Amino acid sequence: MPPTENTPTNPSPYETAGTTAPSTASASVAPSSSAPPAIEFKDVEKSFGSTTVLKNLNFTVAPGERVTLIGPSGSGKTTILRLVMTLEELTGGYIFVDGKPLTFEERDGKRVELPKKQTRAMTTRIGMVFQQFNLFPNMTVLDNIIEAPIHVLGKSKDEAVKEAKALLEKVGLGEKADAHPTRLSGGQQQRVAIARALAMSPEILLLDEVTSALDPELVGDVLAVLRDIAETTDITMLLVTHEMQFARDVSHRVMMFDGGQVLEEGTPDQIFNNPSHERTRSFLSSVL
Amino acid sequence: MIWNWEFAAEALPLLLRGFVNTLIATVVGTIIAAILGLIIAVAIRGLPRWINWLVRLIVAFIRNTPLVVQLIFVYYIFAGIPGLVDVPALVIGFIVIGIHYSTYMSESYRAGIDSVPPGQHEAATALSLPPVRTFTAVVLPQALRATIPSLGNYAVAMFKDTPFLFAISVVELVTSAQQFGAAKFAYTEAFTLAGIIFLLASYPTSLLIQRLDRRLATY
């Protein structure tokens, strides 16, 4: 269990877009809702050149649900997150966010690409944290965080700065507002990246192996921050991680991928303690 | 001794007057080249294919013909257009030099823009930043750090190319030296001083660029 002494305890400044009460991290039952799924993959296909990574993929993620994707490398987990963030072009099928098409829609039986502007309006509800942090090195920590709230959401600078500072406090980096990202450790950079994503008040947060590039002793602080978000907000989370204990603690559901297909899915308890597939068993024994 | 201090003292003010034109041509030419170079780099990247193709063709044409030919060509074309006859040769000079060097600077910008890691574009997409904002706030500031030192080197190269303005009768530093040398038959004094003035101006600039390069290498 990683150390969690940096876990902030003050009341959460995170804004949550939904209206449901915050769920707890230990919840094993996914939030049920009559609202459309936060994310829906319908017959999704993704190929890079002649290599098909995902084929006929169908799944939904409920609002407020936290889903962990596990599986061997090359199984398409990261591609799924990148498709939701529109970092990859969908080669077949449809993705819906809150019931609305994200990049393509069906019109008169034809698959039509949506205008970029419309897609961008959808992606403002989605945040992503990357393995390599991807902070803007030409901006201070504070400027990294207020950039999108000001230039995408149209917030005033005062408001954006106030919220950014609260978020920095929350991730334990209140005194680093004026530092440049290159002066921070990997763990600190990643916490800034999390704060930057949260500053957009996302309904959906995509976490792509956010601790994989970190030194082991820095992983704990980042996981503590994420655990706190899971406990105090109802942000829908889709995560790819190799931190199985963390996945077990915060997820409502775990999906095991292999060869671009969902091999099996279930609660963390089912998947980690009682997997039904031999492939899942061997994968888990190799990473646990 | 072929060196005459009297001639040298007499030549210096004339040369410095010529040097003013050299400086004007270099500074204005650099500004034109830096702005136009960026526009070309962006145009080649983002515009429809046929404009892209046209821009590339013009760039290739300008790069593959000598600056002095371009100067003379444009000078006589302007001289042939009624109403443009009065455009000073110096103005034609810095415009042509600026355009000439913009084709080289555009390549530096392109390399600088390409050096911005894909993760930066991805982070901008993840934040839903519009393309123009992504370019001006994220890509360009990072690209410029990689570009500015090489723009500086081109500015120094441009400075050393200003004697070509002689071809269109602009009296810059080297033309002044030539004129003085011819009048007094004191070429040694005139051109030695001209060389020293060039050296005194461009060597510190080169050092400055080197320092800038080191400073820009880290944030």
Res A288: pLDDT: 73
Res A31: pLDDT: 55
What number of CA atoms fall less than 13 Å from residue B131's CA on the CB side? 6
Model pLDDT for residues A105-123, shown as the tens digit of each residue: 999 989 999 999 999 999 9
- pLDDT above 50: residue B96: yes
CB atoms A138 and B142 under 8 Å: yes
Q: 3-state DSSP call for residue B50?
A: helix
- pLDDT above 50: residue B123: yes
Higher pLDDT, B214 or A59: A59
Per-residue pLDDT tens, chain A, 288 aa: give them.
444 444 444 444 444 444 344 444 444 445 555 789 999 999 999 999 999 999 999 999 999 999 999 998 888 899 999 999 999 999 999 999 999 999 999 999 899 999 999 999 999 999 999 999 999 999 999 999 999 999 999 999 999 999 999 999 999 999 999 999 999 999 999 999 999 999 999 999 999 999 999 998 899 999 999 999 999 999 999 999 988 999 999 999 999 998 888 999 999 999 999 999 999 999 998 887
- pLDDT above 60: residue B56: yes
Q: Does B60 touch chain A (CB under 8 A)?
A: no
Please tell me which residue of chain B has the smallest CA distance to A84: B126
Res B2: pLDDT: 76
Res A2: pLDDT: 44
Res B76: pLDDT: 87
Q: Average pLDDT in the B159-185 region? A: 89
Closest Cα of chain B to A70: distance in Å?
A: 22
CB atoms A87 and B122 under 8 Å: yes
Would you say A132 and A190 are in contact if contact means Cβ atoms under 8 Å apart?
no
Res B159: pLDDT: 92
CB atoms A86 and B218 under 8 Å: no
CB atoms B138 and A124 under 8 Å: no
Nearest to A137 among B122, B130, B142 (CB): B142
Cβ neighbours of A192 in B, within 8 Å: none
Choosing among B115, B121, B128, which should be mutated to test the A contact, i.e. which has the most A CBs within 10 A?
Answer: B128
Res A32: pLDDT: 55
CB atoms A132 and B145 under 8 Å: no
B72 in the Ramachandran plot: left (φ > 0), alpha (ψ -120 to 50) or beta?
Answer: alpha
CB atoms A152 and B145 under 8 Å: no
CB atoms A151 and B133 under 8 Å: yes
Higher pLDDT, A156 or B213: A156
Q: Which residue has the tokens 């959808």?
A: A122
- pLDDT above 80: residue B84: no
**Chain A interface, Cβ < 8 Å to B:** 85-87, 120-121, 123-124, 126-128, 130, 132, 134-139, 147-148, 151-152, 180-182, 196-197, 200
Cβ neighbours of B123 in A, within 8 Å: 130, 134-136
Complete domains list, chain B, with CATH: 5-216 (1.10.3720.10)
Closest Cα of chain A to B121: distance in Å?
A: 9
Closest Cα of chain B to A271: distance in Å?
A: 30
> What is the layout of strands, in order, in the sheet containing A100-101?
A51-61, A39-48, A92-97, A100-101
Res A77: pLDDT: 93
What number of CA atoms fall less than 13 Å from residue A202's CA on the CB side? 29
Q: Average pLDDT in the B92-101 region? A: 95
Distance CA A167, CA A248 (A): 26
Would you say B173 and B18 are in contact if contact means Cβ atoms under 8 Å apart?
yes
CATH, domain A33-123+236-288, list 3.30.470.10, 1.10.150.120, 3.40.50.620, 3.40.50.300: 3.40.50.300
Q: Average pLDDT in the B54-58 region? A: 90
